[in-house]
Structure 1
C-alpha cells in the first residue's frame, strides 16, 4: 500500500518524527539529482552515465515521482575512500572494484554488440546485466567469481541507498520514520489514526 504523494514531507513537519530522524530524512530529500549539473568526484562522466543506465534497469523508478539519486552517494563514498569495512577476497578495494566492474560492462558490450553499454537497447542491456550477475559475460575482463561478487555488491549498495530514501519509503507504504509515538496497530494493513 503506497501512501499519497507528499505524505513523507507532511509527516516530517509533525511531532510524530524525532528531530534526529527529521534531519536525516530532510537531508536525503534535499539531495535530489541534477543530472545536468552533476558534480562528480570519483566517477568519470561516462562511468556516471553507465551507472545511471544500469540503475534505471535495476531499480526503475515511477515516472510520476521525483527521481531518487543513488549515484551521488556512491560517488561521494568512493571519492573519500569510505567502505563498509569488508570485501570479497577476489575483488580489490572498493574504488578499484567499481572501476573494474563498470569497465567490464563496457568491455562485454563492445565484445558482444560492438558498441558501448549506454548505446544498447533495453533488451541488450538486460542481457548483459544478467550475464554479469551470473559471471558469464563474454568479453569482460573479470573472472566469473569477480563478476558475480561485483554485481552483488553493486546491487546491494544501490538498493540500500534507494530504499533508505524517504520517497521510496513513501512509495512502498512505509512510514516507520514516524518514530516518536509508539506503534500499536502492527497487523497486516492495520493503520494508526495518524496514517489515515
Structure 2
C-alpha cells in the first residue's frame, strides 16, 4: 500500500463501512482499496518507467503516492482486456504500451543521454510534453503516433486514479454513496453526506 493510501485508511474504512454504500459499490471500492499489485506484464524497468510517468500525469510524488495506476494497467494488459475498441492506426494495447514506453526511453536517451527515471522532473515533463504534442518523430515514434499514445495513457491513468477510494476521499467526492439516493438536486444544495 502506498504512503498516502495508508494515511487515508481510516477515512476510507469509515466510508466502506458506512450505510451510504450499496453492497455492489462497497465490494468494488474495497477491492480497489485493498489491491496490492505486482507487475507481471511489464519487466521491472518498464514497470518503473510506467509508474513514474503515471505519477507525473497525476502530479504525484513517486515517494508519497496515493495510487500507482501502473499496477492496474499492468494487470489489464496481462489478461489482454480492453475497452473493446482502438484507433485503427494504433497496434493492440499490449504492443502500444511496450512501444510507447520504449519511445519514451529512446527520447530521454536522445535528448539527455540518460534514462528517463534518472532525469530531473522538469526534463521528464519536457519529454512528456513533446510526446503529447507530437514533436517526437524519430525512432519508434516514426511508426507510433505519440499524440494518440499519450491520449490513451492519460485517459487510462486518470480513470484508474480517480476511481480509487483513497483519491475520492481526498477530494471529498461522495458520488459513490448510492444507498440512500440523492434528493437535493437543485443548485447550491448539498446532501448532509457532502458537508
TM bin, normalised by shorter chain, reads 0.7 to 0.9
Please list every run of 5 or more consecutive structure 1 residues that lacks an aligned counterpart in the other structure. Answer: 34-38
Output the CA distance in 2 between the equivalents of 1:107 and 1:61: 24
> Could you list the runs of 4 or more consecutive aligned residues of structure 1 that deviate by over 6 angstroms after TM superposition?
62-66
Output the CA distance in 1 between the equivalents of 2:67 and 2:21: 22
Q: CA deviation at 1:65?
A: 7.3
| Residues 188/26 of structure 1: CA separation in 2 closer, same or farther (3 Å cut) | farther
Please list every run of 5 or more consecutive structure 2 residues that lacks an aligned counterpart in the other structure. Answer: 1-7
Q: CA deviation at 1:9?
A: 2.2
More displaced, 143-152 or 130-139?
A: 143-152
For the residue of structure 1 that corresponds to 2:76, the secondary structure is helix
| Residues 65/177 of structure 1: CA separation in 2 closer, same or farther (3 Å cut) | farther
Paired residues, number: 188
CA RMSD after TM alignment: 2.4
| Residues 171/63 of structure 1: CA separation in 2 closer, same or farther (3 Å cut) | farther
| Superposed CA offset, 1:85-126 (max 9, x none) | 111122111100000000000011111111111111111101
Counterpart residue number, 2:17: 13
Output the CA distance in 2 between the equivalents of 1:188 and 1:32: 40
Give the TM-score normalised by the residue count of structure 1: 0.86
Relative contact order (C-alpha < 8 Å, sep 6+): which is higher? 1
